[in-house]
């Protein structure tokens, strides 16, 4: 399984040229295998970015999320009690709750996290790709 970090879902939908070649290959492969997913908190992060005016997808956040998910058949993975617990136990260099939940979700599903986030990529706590 390939888990898309929030920035990757946004880049893929709006500015795919910002994706690294390796990230683009992973998304294409995941789409072909129907193994792309994102953590449910990613949808909340997008809604917050749109609500605060930091992201303008040309539509409302709900419509943008639906279009971005549908474009590559990205599954949305829920926070489970185990993921919630793991998110507070995971050894990450930052305390961002969304990053912690996304990393814990990747680990819970044995997924590779596609992310541009250097702090996540430098951590040994989650398998990443960029």
Q: How sure is the predictor about 114, in pLDDT bands with cuts at 50, 70 and 90?
A: very high
Map residue 112 onto helix, strand or coil: strand
Q: What percent of the chain has pLDDT over 70?
A: 100
Supply the pTM of this predicted model: 0.94
Per-residue model confidence as pLDDT tens digits over 3-55: 999 999 999 999 999 999 999 999 999 999 999 999 999 999 999 999 999 99
Number of structural domains in the chain: 1
For 32, the token pair is: 């072909």
Write the DSSP string, 9-20. HHHHHH-GGGS-
Q: Is the dihedral of CA 85, 127, 120, 105 positive or negative?
A: negative
pLDDT for 59 equals 97
Per-residue model confidence as pLDDT tens digits over 14-25: 999 999 999 999
Residue 76 sits in a domain whose CATH number is: 3.40.50.1010
Tell me the three-class secondary structure of 76-93, residue by residue: EECCCHHHHHHHHHCCCC
Q: Which residue in the block uniquely carries the two structure tokens 């250097």?
A: 118
Domain with 81 in it = 2-129
């Amino acid at each position: 399984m390939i888990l898309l970090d929030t920035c990757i879902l946004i880049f893929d939908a709006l500015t795919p040229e910002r994706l690294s070649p390796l990230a683009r290959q992973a998304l294409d492969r995941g789409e072909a295998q129907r193994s792309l997913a994102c953590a449910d908190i990613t949808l909340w992060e997008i809604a917050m970015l749109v609500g605060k005016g930091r992201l303008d997808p040309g539509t409302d956040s709900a419509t943008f999320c639906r279009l971005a998910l549908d474009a590559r058949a990205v599954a949305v993975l829920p926070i489970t009690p185990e993921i919630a617990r793991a998110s507070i136990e995971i050894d990450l260099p930052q305390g961002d709750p969304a990053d912690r939940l996304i990393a814990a979700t990747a680990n819970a599903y044995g997924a590779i996290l596609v992310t541009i986030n250097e702090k996540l990529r430098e951590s040994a706590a989650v398998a990443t790709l960029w």
